[in-house]
Structure 1
Amino acid sequence: MEPQLSFAHMGLDGRLLQAIAELGWAKPTLIQEKAIPLALEGKDLLARARTGSGKTAAYAIPLIQHLLQVKMSPLVMEQAVRGLVLVPTKELGQQVLQMIRQLTAYCSRDVRVADVSGQVDMSAQRPILMEKPDVVVGTPSRVLAHLQGHSLSLRHSLEVLVLDEADLLFSFGFEEDLKNLLCHFPKIYQSFLMSATFSEEVQALKELVLHNPVTLKLRESQLPEAAQLCQYQIRCAGEEDKFLLLYALLKLGLVPGKAILFVNTVERGYRLKLFLEQFSIPACVLNSELPVQSRCHIISQFNRGFYDYIVATDEQGLAEPAVRAKRRKGAKTEKGKDPEYGVARGIDFQNVATIINFDPPPSVESYIHRAGRTARADNPGTALTFVTHPECPLLAEIEEALAGENTEPVLRPYQFRMEEVEGLRYRCRDAMRSVTKQAIKEARLREIKEELLNSEKLKTYFEDNPHDLRLLRHDRPLHPAIVKPHLRNVPEYLVPPTLRAIAQPLLNKRKRRKHLAPSSSRPRGGFQARGGRNPLRSFQYMGRRPRRPASKGRTS
């Protein structure tokens, strides 16, 4: 077995190595170990690696190294845009910008980067581009608009082109933009295509922008191993059981740490947020109707630990091939929605302990990218998928695709004894009745109005007062539905006897904190109960095993 190549042995600039060390990266990931040396040799790359594997750094490090070497050459005197990173979404553009800034922390005067993917007026970005930053990050449509508006020129300066999440660039409707962009590029430049899948779109892009590329198709599973990522399915008798189980999981503290709750529509997301508000469980929503500044701020605050729960709408995964074809031809999306929104792909949600598919994903790819929001790097994670009987065929397709030659089930059954949480059902029904269609409509309008206002603040006031950003929260109650005070707490008599030893009801924050490990010893993936026990993993799935008598407690 070949020894792993370290960052120190890649011939990187000392300032770049210093930034890598400050980020705490002890050794490169598999994609970084394979891609960086090839990129430093000047080769074009077509790389496929699973989500959360470190693809952004795999192209950012050689890009920065190239620019630093160019700057040291006495023949190069003129400042120019030499690197271009194309991304499918504005949120990913912000993430790439942050990553490059972190890696250039000790050479920021020599390598400057600008993100033009944001939904701001182009005239506000022109002065930034006139200074000719070394790297420009943006969506294909925004970069093309700047090229056509003569505020950006790449014909004689571009040296490195990166297409991040390349398989999404066509499916998000950027095919024509990409073809038009090629007319503004020089004949010779180095290209990197980074993707989680090798789809038809990626093959088409390969023909367009790569020249004799090295293909890196790493032999790794599409998701982390079972020791790192526990995947469960929860069969529900109906929609009411979904809400009941989620209420029990969250209110009894059985989901430790931070969680992302995935739904398939915007309306569904607000319904779920209002439902949780009935029990004083704060959560913020993330969907395509919100302004991009607010979306990026929500992700940033979530990563910093301000929020425990995000209700995320995964809309792009719903597009059928026919719908995608319309997008490619320039068809308009639903009014008020951002066509460049995507939450299940590319975005680096940090330290997510659990993802919950409240609505099952519409495809295998969507499941992979949702589950990839947790168990990133070396952190453990859990993926729970709620499924009703009509949704079982879809789940079977996902299981079959993930299983491969493995005979063991990938999504193990995670069955509650429903009779144990039956005492909470009347509370669940009470809350569901309060979340009417009118309440959802009012919540949706109020949220958009408030986030538009917040977006303007983020763009102006908070640029000069960054410390005030922490005062702006996105998980505050919307309150169009009447919140009943008696639903706030869970009386002890309603906590199932078999759960009382491990449940940590959210009715007393101070009491709960005493049962948590000190912050310095908590795992990065989220909270754990005293003694290192993870409540979610304290249950073992029952599958087809015969049930034990209730008096013997939970299964073990």
Structure 2
Amino acid sequence: MPFQALGLVPALTKAAADLGFTTPTPIQTEAIPVILEGKDVLGTAQTGSGKTAAYALPLLQRLQQQKTASNRRVGALVLVPTRELAAQVGEMVRQFALHLEPRPKVAVAFGGVSINPQMMALRGGADIMVGTPGRLLDLVSQNALKLDAVQLLVLDEADRLLDLGFADELQRLLALLPRQRQNLFFSATFPPDVQALANELLHDAVRIEVMDAACETGAASPPLVVQRLIEVDADRRVQLLRHLMKEGQWERVLVFVATQYAAERVAAKLHHGDIYATSFHGGLSQGARKQALKEFKEKRWDVVVTTDLAARGIDIAQLPVVVNFDLPRSAVDHVHRIGRTGRAGEGGLAISFVTAEADAHWRLIEKRQGMSLPREQIPGFEPQQLAPPPAPGGGGIKGKRPSKKDKLRAAAAATGSKSP
């Protein structure tokens, strides 16, 4: 089915073709006509399935049809959780809008950089605003941005934006929007608690799922991604990674670790072993993050060692391998991590290292994902360490310890239980 059959105007189908979008993906086929009808949408689709185009193309058409002669007041607001995703979405929306007349003005805003250029870019207003919640609130407080005319609201990576970490900022932004608007929520995962909150914000939403129903709990992986689980001692993971890279002749690898410190340390060890590696994490300046990502996409780095900052939304074309050097905290994070490979119909490989200490946590991830991977041992790297005995109450199992979100929920519950 061509894009024209979905009801898009020629200017948008031409822009899509210019960007290599010739045949709609399943999420695009199902979502675009519904969005053009003005309905709220809750869309669930695997990573790399074209969710951005699924909402950006009809959003542009809806905005063009509803456009009035008013002074470039923000008509569409796209909220994203990270700076990198904000920049990526903003650029894609601009590319899709190239042939529209008049061409809509797209503004992008995120933290970690000076607010002044973003305020200057908003002079004269903007038709479409793409940004992270915190920076958008900063712009509102500086009277550089008004959101009282927003007709379409998009939450990209909606499950992340709806969890407790963004709850306060999201509620403050929602209070600035008109009550009558179209809402589009998209993500690869919608855990039940997040989905319940999403349902409260949506109005008679059309629910679109183009994946296994297990994805609602974070239990799916892209169908073209081959997963491997390798047992190894913690102190031999770097050597094993170098061995696998040499044996597999991998040209580019995205390696996930748990902390910023680990990202720096592992990248330094790989670099010392003659592998062109760099780190990517939230402690770097925005300029350094942008440069590292750009160079990795250009294949100037063999390895980027990253935290979960790179687990969501970032699109790296034809990335062959993802490695969980440290296991992700949750099953949902696992889905998003391995979704960086196997995108847009390409195959991919996702390898997880499991140490004796992390064995119980991996079993928890497997249980929540409803899967069981065969365990491998690589000759010369057979593990020697034994799993520690379980701590009383399960406190020693990563994933059962209270997370930051759990602690915030407990604090909120405690505050709410206090008598006035």
Distance in structure 2 (CA, Å) of the matches to 1:174 and 1:373: 23
For residues 127 and 278 of structure 1, do their structure 2 counterparts lie closer, same or farther at Cα, with a shift above 3 Å needed?
A: closer
Separation (CA, whole Å) in 2 of partners of 1:391 and 1:79 = 53
TM-score (norm 1): 0.64
Mapped to 2, the partners of 1:95 and 1:21 lie a distance apart of 18
Change over 3 Å in CA distance of 1:375–1:108 after alignment to 2: farther
CA distance 1:355–1:172, shift in 2 (3 Å): farther
Q: What residue number does 2:7 align with?
A: 11
* 1:35, distance to aligned residue in structure 2 (A): 0.8
Q: Report the equivalent of 1:397.
A: 364
| Alignment check: 8 A CA contact 2:111 2:134 kept | no
Task: Give the superposition deviation at 1:353.
Answer: 0.2
Q: CA deviation at 1:109?
A: 5.2
Q: Which secondary structure does the structure 1 equivalent of 2:49 belong to?
A: coil
Letter in 2 for 1:79: R
Give the corresponding residue for 1:310: 304
Q: Which amino acid aligns with 2:184?
A: F
1:457 is aligned to none
Counterpart CA distance in 2 for 1:253 and 1:294 is 31
Report if the CA contact (8 A) 1:88-1:172 is conserved: no
Give 1:400-411 correspondences, 5 Å limit. 400-403=367-370, 409=372, 411=373
Once residues 173 and 234 of structure 2 are traced to their aligned partners in structure 1, the CA distance between those partners, rounded to angstroms, is 47
Query: How far did residue 239 of structure 1 move?
Result: 2.3
Match of 1:257 in 2: 251
Report if aligned partners of 1:101, 1:108 keep a CA contact under 8 Å in 2. no
Of residues 62, 75, 85 in structure 2, which corresponds to 1:92?
Answer: 85
**Deviations for 1:456-494, whole angstroms, at most 9, x for unmatched residues?**
xxxxxxxxxxxxxxxxxxxxxxxxxxxxxxxxxxxxxxx
Q: How does 1:85-164 map to 2 (within 5 A)?
A: 85-107=78-100, 110-155=103-148, 157-164=149-156
- Residues 10, 242 of structure 1: alpha-carbon distance in 2 compared, 3 angstrom cutoff: same
Runs of 4 or more above 6 Å deviation: none
- Give the Å deviation of 1:65: 1.1
2:161 maps to which of 162, 169, 178: 169
Whole-Å separation in 2 of the counterparts to 1:349 and 1:168: 20
Candidates 76, 83, 105, aligned match of 1:83: 76
Picking from 275, 278, 289, the partner of 2:272 is: 278
Query: Mind listing any 5+ residue stretches in structure 2 that lack a counterpart?
Result: 383-420
> Between Structure 1 and Structure 2, whose CA radius of gyration is higher?
1
Q: Give, in angstroms, the shift of residue 26 of structure 1.
A: 2.3
What do the CA deviations read for 1:402-436 (whole angstroms, capped 9, x no partner)? 345xxxx4x3334322289xxxxxxxxxxxxxxxx
Letter aligned with residue 60 of structure 1: A
Superposition deviation, residue 149 in structure 1: 2.3
Give the TM-score taking structure 2 as reference length. Answer: 0.84
User: What secondary structure, in the 3-state scheme, does the structure 1 residue paired with 2:322 have?
Assistant: strand
SS in 1 for 2:12: helix
Match of 1:359 among 306, 322, 326: 326
Aligned to 1:246: 241
Aligned length: 375
Give 2:36's aligned residue: 40
> Per-residue CA shift, 1:422-453, capped at 9, x if unaligned?
xxxxxxxxxxxxxxxxxxxxxxxxxxxxxxxx
Distance 1:90 1:36, change over 3 A: same
Does 1:371 find its partner at 2:333? no
- Supply the distance in 2 between the matched residues of 1:361 and 1:402 (Cα, whole angstroms): 13
CA contact (8 A) 2:275 2:302 kept: no
Aligned 1:136-535 pairs, distance under 5 A: 136-155=129-148, 157-171=149-163, 173-199=165-191, 200-208=193-201, 210-220=202-212, 222-225=220-223, 228-236=224-232, 238-250=233-245, 252-314=246-308, 342-403=309-370, 409=372, 411-418=373-380
Q: CA RMSD in A?
A: 2.1
Amino acid at match of 1:267: Y
Residue 372 of structure 1: how far off its partner (Å): 0.6
Work out the CA distance in 2 between the residues paired with 1:124 and 1:419: 52
The answer to whether the aligner puts 1:31 opposite 2:24 as a matched pair is: no
Deviates more, 1:119-128 or 1:388-397: 119-128
In the superposition, relative to structure 1, how do residues 148 and 386 fare at CA in structure 2: closer, same or farther (>3 Å)? Answer: same
CA contact (8 A) 2:230 2:354 kept: yes
Q: Distance in 2 between matches of 1:306 and 1:35?
A: 36
Rounded Cα–Cα distance in structure 2 between residues aligned with 1:266 and 1:100: 31
Q: CA deviation at 1:390?
A: 2.0
Letter in 2 for 1:19: A
CA separation in 2, counterparts of 1:381 and 1:232?
11
Residues 258, 351 of structure 1: 8 Å contact kept: no
User: Kindly tell me: are residues 419 and 152 of structure 1, through their superposed partners in 2, closer, same or farther at Cα, counting changes over 3 Å?
Assistant: closer
* CA deviation string 1:209-231 (max 9, x = no partner): x2221122334362122xx2111
Pairing partner for 2:17 from 11, 14, 21: 21
Partner SS state of residue 248, structure 1: helix
